Amino acid sequence: MIKILNSLNENEIFQRSTATEDVSDKVRDIIENVRVNGDSALREYSKKFDGVELNSFEIEHSLLKSAYDCCDAEFKQVLEEAAANVREYHKEQVSSGYEIKRDNGVIVGRKVLPLERVALYVPGGTAAYPSSVLMNCIPASIAGVKEIIMTTPPAKDGTVRDDILAAAYIAGVDRIFCIGGAQAVAALAYGTETVPKVDKIVGPGNAFVAEAKRQVYGIVDIDMIAGPSEILVVADKYAVPACVAADMLSQAEHDKNATAVLITDSAELAEATANEIEKQLELLPREEIARASIDNNGKIIVVDNIAQAIEVSNRLAPEHLELCVENAMDLLDSVKNAGSVFLGYNCPEAVGDYFSGTNHVLPTSGTARFASALSVDDFIKTMEYTYYSKEAIIKDADKIALFANHEGLTAHGKSATIRKEF
């Protein structure tokens, strides 16, 4: 059963769940094998880990449209509406460059350029996520990325679920490869005979995928190292215990290392929510996973007031933060660290996972202190430029040389002053 804490014990409150298995050596071996042996290594791992032998890793693009056409009409409509919401939200993130022209003939500026080719990793395993296709692909498309690649683990029969393919069609994925795990990350980072090398890899995955992304960073860019899912609910005495419990379980069902936390100023709500969690757990198809998460990592913290709850939340910097309180919008400015904030009694974090348009690829493990949700900005780079006229370099050459000489870099200074002679 979930723990109820009545004191702000640092060790109990701020301890986070971490995966215990160290997979770094295994991942290193996989990456090196794929780097050296390319497609043959990928075939080896497909057989070993996925139980399939594939003649071709790439899915024919025509199958995306076929999957979309065959998709359940109601689900197709929901996918389309969700995609429209994601596009509407992310279009506001588009940034532009600028240029400054000075009177002395100097021009300085900044260009915003889309990445050429990016890859989206879409998990398989215990759950497959068409929502992740939308969340990763649409911002890349809006940024102007030239080619969007997707990899996802194959099912036992070597196929990919139709709802994943339908989401890829709606979102605008260019190419899909049936590859999962650390081997997919390696293939995307280094390229193989059939899998193209990309500039950036985004999307969540298991511990092997996360570690592979960590190890190839620098060869390619990545979005973040995602840890276990987290939800923190701040609730007052007017919150409905059944709703709070349901919201906490929405993250607990992700995996056994997920964390669900409630902070409340009401001892009655704490007790009622704990009881509701037990009731609802018994009804979940993924009860075993959710129960392990709740028993090992879940906690309910009783504080003196909601201001103190926000204080604790800011220190925890959760992935998802729900403010199930009166006048929730008034508290938004008090929140300093959170991946995504859900306001009011009627806003479960699932609306952000699927439908509101905000991105669900979020910083975990307290990294919301310095990291942000996936956005259009993740799929661009910026390039600076400078132009100097003859008049301008003559005017500034001695100042540049003075600065350079103070650093002991006289050749830097000479490169400026020599132009006064010609």
Same-domain pairing of 203 and 235: no
* CATH code at position 193: 3.40.50.1980
Same-domain pairing of 84 and 183: yes
Using the predicted structure, report yes or no on whether residue 125 has a pLDDT greater than 70. Answer: no
Q: Is 235 inside a domain boundary?
A: yes
- Local confidence band at 367 (pLDDT 50, 70, 90 cut-offs): very high
Using the predicted structure, report yes or no on whether residue 92 has a pLDDT greater than 90. Answer: yes
Q: What percent of the chain clears pLDDT 70, i.e. is strictly above it?
A: 98
Check if 412 is active-site.
no
Domain final residue pick, 174, 190, 222? 222
Check residue 158 and give its pLDDT: 86
Residue 351 neighbours by CB under 8 Å, 6+ apart: 342
Give the three-class secondary structure for 165. Answer: helix
Using the predicted structure, report yes or no on whether residue 185 has a pLDDT greater than 90. Answer: yes
What distance in Å separates the CA atoms of residue 397 and residue 402, rounded to the nearest whole number?
Answer: 9
Using the predicted structure, report yes or no on whether residue 155 has a pLDDT greater than 90. Answer: no
Domain final residue pick, 315, 336, 356? 356
Check if 406 is active-site.
no
Token output for 153: 């683990």
Same-domain pairing of 342 and 257: yes
Check residue 11 and give its pLDDT: 75
Same-domain pairing of 213 and 235: no
Catalytic annotation, pick one of 90, 254, 320, 360: 320
Same-domain pairing of 8 and 77: no
Same-domain pairing of 138 and 212: yes
Mean pLDDT of the region 147-165: 92
Catalytic annotation, pick one of 319, 322, 349, 360: 319
Same-domain pairing of 193 and 235: no
Report phi then psi at 208, rounded to 5. -70, -40
Same-domain pairing of 325 and 212: no
Does the predicted model carry a pTM greater than 0.75? yes
Q: Is 180 inside a domain boundary?
A: yes
CA angle, 132 as apex, 118 and 276 as ends, to 5°?
Answer: 155
Q: What percent of the chain clears pLDDT 90, i.e. is strictly above it?
A: 89
Same-domain pairing of 280 and 149: no
- Local confidence band at 361 (pLDDT 50, 70, 90 cut-offs): very high
Using the predicted structure, report yes or no on whether residue 107 has a pLDDT greater than 70. Answer: yes
Question: Which range marks the domain in which residue 392 is found?
Answer: 388-421
**Contact (CB, 8 A) for 86 and 170:** no
Same-domain pairing of 141 and 216: yes
- Number of domains making up the chain: 3
Using the predicted structure, report yes or no on whether residue 12 has a pLDDT greater than 90. Answer: no
Check residue 226 and give its pLDDT: 85
